[in-house]
Structure 1
């Protein structure tokens, strides 16, 4: 029986695109705070390159020994707005350059944490960081940025929403690809190993290892064996598959934790697609019975998929966290791209789907002349879904200068390519210009 399970896992890896998408080391920078920004940056560089010096080597050893592909090795750090505020600098780009230098030294894929948490208002470093995001991302290769503008407990900071629309617009003018490294959140989590939204929360240990698994191809193959069965059987099949995938992630995390001498944090069991054939969340939904993702029934199928993945994962590992569900990034999912090109998947439908999946409007390319206020309004809508439903939502939208609806933009690598999607032409500017705070919903008052 044990040999059958081993062979089954080998088959999942070789034929069904099963992988560990990332092992991510979280590193607290709270002990690097200094009123002299040059000293702070040196402390940051020294701590990151010391704590994570063996991260890539250990990841490669585990991959070679166990035959499990580990696609990315990443680092997350304490939100830089908290660290840089002590310096009173008027520009935090030097902190981003320090993170980038450390990431290149380590040989990792990305470093996340050029971030600010402004859901209830601004602290001294927040506005400085947000203002610097476009320039910081344009000047770095591996740095990822995120800003949390809302939460169920505190409502939505509409001043920050307006500012982030402007930041996205400015970033697209400097280099539209920088927006692939920037996420705007509601209810951001502190232990997310995925980019571009990962950061190391202040309640995390000094260092910690978090693992992100994937496997939409594995789920699709499992569902091919239960064609025509009831939805109960479909849900049970997804649960059992998620259990196996999560077990693998837990093993990798435990081994990495032991070898690096760092506490094991969580397994994020999100189904993260890639542009590769057979590695698509959209195709999982179509295997459930949709002719094409985006048609009526898509939201229901996605809700069941997300819930079944969580149920299977939570049984496999007592430390499940991060985002844990299904990602629906348009550019990174071949089935999503096909559906947009066919006209069955629209921004409105994607917004509805975000109410029941892991994150939100992700890796969506829009015309370059989209107003900043429209982007802010998209952020506000997603934040509202997250706030009301007490879940994480996010926006990673990419205005592409010179591109119109129906054209295509190439991002390359795991980011794939994306059709330019149309946005509603009616203005939301007057609402966005109001600013202020959308109050938290009544169910936030639980004490």
Structure 2
């Protein structure tokens, strides 16, 4: 059981080390909303979300008040809309009406973001899947809170290269539609390999079909807490270093466990998982890259970075698993460039490149996250970058993702401002050599041999 003493122990972390619960996310199944009439589907979806999540904001504020723990976001994830709208939607514009409904429902209940405008196409695309994907640029441009994700690959099925090729085009369309705002809508779109059904973090959250009718998933974050703890053991052995990270992650996760249990009880919705990802913000001292520097690197990206990140992730998970009944989602360090001041500093110093970020994906869930790239990058090159990320996840039997932002009208040397938690990012150079002939092949890359375990 979590007790009040544990909460009191974290007060200093909250006040001085930017500890927060990043999100309470209610996962809601919309399978009961399916109908062949589009108007009826929209009515069902709106009513379902506004009924289940009506007290989300109120309960989050109560928990903040009662325990003094900041809860930064209230979010909703829903059944992939390609499944929900498949029977009623006859063209991409029909799916856009569902995006508007999601946006209105999220606004009505006080949710910051709603995820699940999604399609799962790792082996092939249905007609509905393809229509939803083609509707993404319009849907994201016309809504404020809707987030979209597409699962393009898995260890069991391989990589759907037709979908990978399509997503390169789609991403540029999203960028072009929001070019007057530095292509900001690309932040709301992420592609996955081995996407988890219970991820509370955006833009990749959706409510998997294996989940219950409704569920509470909580994402915690405490990179500042970990960094502060490591400052006390500078120069110590790896054994001391690992033990310190593990103990700190335990305490951080216990805070998330408390919030999840309280939210579950007060909302009358079962507790799902704690996602113990280290999610940075642009705030000074709230950086995963700064943790890597505290471990002993001059900058994130220096030789040894992948090893340090692997150790950090492993010890965070070991501490977190002991602290919570159920750990899930992504549960790994996030290394977004724009949202982490330490990562921004590393890019500006020339210490980190896209290729190094790709290598770091091998030991965390998202290596190409919130990466601003030149707006004239060809669609096939973007698809090639996505394919590389998908291959890492497929072969290593892990979740990987890419959230790329081709900024129309800007190039290397420019900086793009996203604001708030999204921060700013220097535009990173992209390999100029073509992969078009590879990307334009049709079909899929088969699953690796070690996937056959039945």
Note whether the superposition's TM-score is higher than 0.5: yes
141, 145, 158: which is aligned to 1:142? 145
Could you tell me which residue of structure 2 aligns to residue 16 of structure 1?
Answer: 17
Could you tell me which residue of structure 1 aligns to residue 213 of structure 2?
Answer: 206
- CA displacement 1:93-147 (0-9 Å, x = unmatched): 0010000010111111000000000000012310000000011000000000000
- CA displacement 1:351-384 (0-9 Å, x = unmatched): 0001101223100000000001111000000000
Q: Contact 1:367–1:399 (CA<8 Å) still a contact in 2?
A: yes
Could you tell me which residue of structure 2 aligns to residue 87 of structure 1?
Answer: 88
109, 114, 125: which is aligned to 1:122? 125
Could you tell me which residue of structure 2 aligns to residue 363 of structure 1?
Answer: 370
Distance 1:325 1:69 in 2: 21
Distance 1:32 1:89 in 2: 17
Q: 1:5 and 1:111, CA in 2 relative to 1: closer, same or farther beyond 3 A?
A: closer
What secondary structure does 1:24 align onto? strand
Q: 1:4 and 1:113, CA in 2 relative to 1: closer, same or farther beyond 3 A?
A: closer
1:404 positional shift: 1.1
Q: 1:125 and 1:370, CA in 2 relative to 1: closer, same or farther beyond 3 A?
A: same
1:8 positional shift: 3.4
Q: Contact 1:270–1:358 (CA<8 Å) still a contact in 2?
A: no
1:31 positional shift: 0.2
What secondary structure does 1:132 align onto? helix
Distance 1:205 1:179 in 2: 30
Distance 2:4 2:176 in 1: 55
1:5 positional shift: 5.2
Distance 2:236 2:89 in 1: 62
Could you tell me which residue of structure 2 aligns to residue 154 of structure 1?
Answer: 157
TM-score norm. by structure 1 comes to 0.99
1:191 aligns with 2:195: no
Could you tell me which residue of structure 1 aligns to residue 100 of structure 2?
Answer: 97
429, 437, 446: which is aligned to 2:444? 437
Q: Contact 1:37–1:89 (CA<8 Å) still a contact in 2?
A: no
Distance 2:242 2:84 in 1: 44
1:403 aligns with 2:403: no
1:56 positional shift: 0.4
CA RMSD of aligned residues (A): 1.0
1:418 positional shift: 0.3
Q: 1:179 and 1:3, CA in 2 relative to 1: closer, same or farther beyond 3 A?
A: closer
Distance 1:225 1:3 in 2: 26
Distance 2:169 2:64 in 1: 42
1:165 aligns with 2:168: yes
What secondary structure does 1:327 align onto? coil
Distance 2:349 2:412 in 1: 13
| Unpaired runs of at least 5, structure 2 | none
1:318 positional shift: 2.0
Distance 1:8 1:34 in 2: 51
- Paired residues for 1:229-240 under 5 Å: 229-240=236-247
Q: Contact 2:334–2:364 (CA<8 Å) still a contact in 1?
A: yes
Distance 2:413 2:4 in 1: 50
Could you tell me which residue of structure 1 aligns to residue 232 of structure 2?
Answer: 225
1:248 aligns with 2:247: no
Could you tell me which residue of structure 2 aligns to residue 267 of structure 1?
Answer: 274
Distance 2:376 2:240 in 1: 47
Distance 1:257 1:359 in 2: 28
Flag as ranges the 4+ runs of structure 1 deviating above 2 A. 2-8
Could you tell me which residue of structure 1 aligns to residue 28 of structure 2?
Answer: 27
Could you tell me which residue of structure 1 aligns to residue 49 of structure 2?
Answer: 48
| Unpaired runs of at least 5, structure 1 | none
126, 130, 134: which is aligned to 1:131? 134
Q: 1:234 and 1:86, CA in 2 relative to 1: closer, same or farther beyond 3 A?
A: same
Count of residue correspondences? 446
Distance 1:313 1:3 in 2: 19
What secondary structure does 2:327 align onto? coil
Could you tell me which residue of structure 2 aligns to residue 428 of structure 1?
Answer: 435
Q: Contact 1:156–1:437 (CA<8 Å) still a contact in 2?
A: yes
